[in-house]
Structure formats: structure tokens, C-alpha cells
Structure 1
Amino acid sequence: MAKHIIQRIVMAALTATCMGAATPASANTEVETAELLIKLLQVGRGVISEHQATINDASKGDKGFTGDFVSNQVIERFRKATKIDLSRPATVPQAPLYLAMVESEKEVIDEMQPVINKQGVGFKGVIPAVFARKSGERFYRKTGIRVKLTGTDYRFPGNRPDEFESEVLRIFADTRHPKGQPYSKATMLDGKPVLRMMDPEYAASTCLSCHGDPKGERDITGAKKEGWHEGDLAGAISIVIPMR
């Protein structure tokens, strides 16, 4: 999809958001909305993971790994995974919210261009976890919906699980809980009704270079490895959507 078309779609959707068209979902749709927002973040992280070698190529300057490239990839992969075509937002309920997430992901990569394209530097620190955190922060400022990574072995202080998240992580760690099944609950937060959802995440082979064995060894980021094995519970994506 051409760059100017993506920009037009996203800007139209964000204008609708500002006008109130993206008010958080009503009671019969917020679970689906939460699931799809989580999916968009997962798709974006997948794009970052697959292009890690390109991002960290110290010999190359302009890599073409731009916000437009990422947003194109996210929209196309999301369409293939869900059959929802965000390039036709008029046909998609809650499209302004979903495109606000796409725009947040685009902005993060645009902001990182000087780092991504810097020659002579290998590891850039542009990794899926950082991408997800920054995208979630931007998305919250746009929409008031909180999306974050969390887990028992959190590294960034902002990813520390709260009481609700800690309890759900214990549920996910219980072998009786069906692997991969999300958990959602309508509850109160700060005196207001919200839907809370968490989607469990498991260690893939690509995670182990930073989070695998030997436990306690420093990885490329300088943090200590957790000693995970492929398939271990790595944490969850947590989302909080205000309810009407």
C-alpha cells in the first residue's frame, strides 16, 4: 500500500477519534476490541523481531525500516490473521482505535530512525519489548486505553505487575489453565468500570538469546538472563479498557 494512502487512512481515523468516534467499546464488544488491540501489538512486535538483523546491521546506514514500512506490514499481517482490513476503515467497527495503535507503532519507529540508521553501531536497543512499551505509552496518550507487557520476570519498572496482573499470571502458570487462553474480567479501577484482559505469552526460540540459559549471565542488553526455555510462560500483554 502506498505511503500516502496509509497516512490518509490513519489521519482520518485519528480525526474521528478526536471527535469521539473511538469512545471505548460498549459492554458487548469490549472483549473483542481488547483481543484485536493485543493482536495488533503482537503483530508489530513480530515485525521488529523478524527484522532484528537489519536493524542491528552496523555496516548499513539508511535501512528503509521506517514507520511507513512497519505500518504497512502491520496492516497487511493483521488482515491475513484476522480477515479485518484496516485499509478500509469505514467497514471496520472500532477502526479508529485499531488505527490509533498502528499510528502509535509507526511513530515509535519514526522516532527511532536516527538510532536504527546509525552506522558503526551494532546492537541498537530497538527490540520487541522496547517497541511494545513505547507503542503502548503513545496509544494510552491517544486513547486512554492502557496496554503493557508484564510478567514475573519484568525488567522495566513500568512492566511490574499490579495485584490483578500478579493473580492472573499465577493462573496462567497453573498447569490446569489451558495454554494460550486469555483471561478477562469486568471490574473497577480507580473507581471506574473497566474491562481488564491479559493474554499469556510464551518463550519462543528467538527470545532465548536474551532470556534463556545460562541463567544470570549478562545478555546483549546488559541485563541478566532469566533461564527460560522454549515454551515457558514469559509473561502477558495486559490491557485496560474503560467501559460505558
Structure 2
Amino acid sequence: MEVIRMRTMTMGALAVFILAGWTGSALAANEGEVAEHLIELVKIGRGVVSEQMANINDQTKGDKGFTGDYMAAQVMDRFKKRTKIDLRIPNAVPQANLYLALVEAEKEVVDEAQPVINKVGISFKGFIPAVFARRTGEHFYKKSGVRLKLTGIDYRNPSNKPDDFEAEVLRMFSDARHPKGQSYVRNTMLDGRPVLRMMDPEYAAASCLGCHGSPKGERDVSGHKKEGWKEGELAGAISVVLPLK
């Protein structure tokens, strides 16, 4: 596994950036594109966790080698391939520090989970892609003030419950007339402040069905009742709330 340590200079600059607030230079880019890139970074990190599930749940092995540094390296490498933005280059784009804050949040979540990930004798650790995404969103909000979460009608964790806006958009996504895979974005007000809200629909993949598929109501490995999803059905969305000036 390639290990990249985020440089002190980069993270120091990031700390200054966070204290100053993100809305200055980041808004030099199109806000919609910024939201799209944040969603992409979360999807990449979640995908890395998904790839690591067999490793994470190997009860015979202690140190799995799946660290925060590994996560950060994978996220930055894959983000570069998909967007041509190299986050290892200082100020690669005006909003690079915001993106690095999210990468750092993903790194922190994996580092905090090391005692669980590396525990011997337990086959199911509970550190699944959805848990990773939820914790990443919580860390990222504390760093940046940007809200980022998974949501859906069939939510399990209360923090994933859709608000009124999200519920409205989820209904739109579930309408057969809505183009499959098309995200939704709107400039609106939240708590008296202007924000950009973007939601990106997500559909049940084959890998989701072990916990969320049929038979509906049966208990999955985590003890939750399965939702009865079918492959390709709307499963929920990634929701971003981006404060504007």
C-alpha cells in the first residue's frame, strides 16, 4: 500500500484557511462545480472503504495497513484521475484548501477507527461505507461549515433523515420522469443565510443488497431490517449545503 503523509506546510495552511472561513477564494470557482467536487471526494473515499471491507473484517489479522494516510493518498490519486486536479500541488485551484479539508476529514475518520479496524477475533467491525461517509461529513462540517451527508427515505441513522428540501428532491428523484442520475441544484436560503444546495441521486448497487435487499424485514449482519431494495432502484442521495456570501 502506498503511504503519503500530508505535509505539515500544507495542513498548516489549511488550519489558517479554516480559521479564516472558506467562502473567500473558493467562490472564485463556480459554486456548483465546487459542490460536485466535494461529492466526488466523498464517493471516492467511500469506494476505498468498500474495497477494503474484506480486509477490515478479517478477524485473523491485526494490523490491516488500512490507515488514514493510505485513505488520503488513494483519494487524492483518484480525484486527480477523475478531475485533473492535483491536490498535492499547493493552490492547484482556488478552492483546493476546501477540498483538502475534506480529504483531511476522511483521513481522520479512518485514523480514529484504527482500534476497531485492527481488532482481532471480530469478523464484522461495523466500519462500513455509510458509517465512514457520515463521520466524514461530521468532521468536515466542523472544519468548514459546509454540510455534507447521505440521506434517503429509508434512512437508518437519525442524522441521515432528510429535511424538507431533501425530502422534496428525493420525491423528484423517485419520479420516473426524472432523468436517472441527474443531480439537482438550487440557490436558496437556510437559517437566514444564502446557500447553494446540491443533491446527487444514488442507486442500489449489487454490493448494497446484502444489507439492504431482500427479503424485506429480514435482519442483516448489523441487526437492522433489510429495506427490500432491488438493484438500480433509488437508494438515496448525497446532499451538500454550501454557504454563500
Q: What TM-score do you get using the length of structure 2 for normalisation?
A: 0.95
For the 8 Å contact 1:10–1:103, the answer to whether it is kept is no
Q: Which moved more, 1:100-109 or 1:22-31?
A: 22-31
Q: Which residue of 1 aligns with 2:23?
A: 23
Does the Cα contact within 8 Å between 1:16 and 1:96 map onto a contact in 2?
A: no
Is the 2:3–2:70 Cα contact (8 Å) retained in structure 1?
Answer: no
Range 10-19 or range 73-82, more displaced: 10-19
Q: Aligned with 2:20: secondary structure?
A: coil
Aligned residue type for 2:64: K
Q: CA separation in 2, counterparts of 1:2 and 1:59?
A: 23
- The one-letter code of the counterpart of 1:194 is V
1:114-133 pair list within 5 angstroms: 114-133=115-134
What is the Cα deviation at residue 22 of structure 1? 2.7
Tell me, in whole angstroms, the C-alpha distance in 2 between the residues paired with 1:197 and 1:155: 22
Match of 2:243 in 1: 242
Question: Conserved in 1, the CA contact under 8 Å of 2:10 and 2:90?
Answer: no
Unpaired runs of at least 5, structure 1:
none
4+ residue runs of structure 1 moved beyond 6 angstroms?
A: none
Q: Give the whole-Å Cα distance in 2 for the aligned partners of 1:231 and 1:27.
A: 37
Output the amino acid matched with 1:182: S
Alpha-carbon shift at residue 27 of structure 1 (Å):
8.2
Partner of 1:87: 88
C-alpha separation in 1, matches of 2:29 and 2:96: 16
- The one-character-per-residue Cα deviations of 1:106-163 (angstroms, maximum 9, x if unpaired) are 0000000000000000100000000000000000000000000000000000100010
Q: Which residue of structure 1 lines up, in the alignment, with residue 114 of structure 2?
A: 113
1-structure distance, mates of 2:8, 2:159: 33
Q: 1:58 offset after TM fit, Å?
A: 0.1
Distance in 2 (alpha carbons) for counterparts of 1:9 and 1:234:
40
Question: Take 1:194 and 1:53, find their aligned partners in 2: how far apart are those partners?
Answer: 39
Q: Equivalent residue for 2:8?
A: 8
Instruction: Output the aligned Cα RMSD.
Output: 1.5
Measure the CA separation in 2 of the matches of 1:27 and 1:185.
18
Matched, 1:168 2:172: no
State the percentage of identical aligned residues.
63
Gap regions ≥5 residues in structure 2:
none
1:138 match: 139
> Which has the larger displacement, 34-43 or 21-30?
21-30
Tell me: CA distance 1:191–1:106, structure 2 relative to 1, closer, same or farther (3 Å): same
8 Å CA contact retained: 1:66, 1:109: yes
Counterpart in the other structure of 2:34:
33
Count of aligned residue pairs for this structure pair: 243
TM-score by length of 1: 0.95
Structure 1, residues 48-73: CA drift from partner, whole Å, max 9, x if none? 00110000000000010000001100
- State the distance in 2 between where 1:171 and 1:237 align: 14
Equivalence for 2:220: 219
- Structure 1 residue 15, shift from structure 2 partner: 2.8
More divergent stretch after superposition (121-130 vs 87-96): 87-96
The alpha carbon displacement at 1:226 in A equals: 0.6
Between the aligned partners of 1:59 and 1:109, the Cα distance in structure 2 is: 20
Residue 2 of structure 1: how far off its partner (Å): 5.2
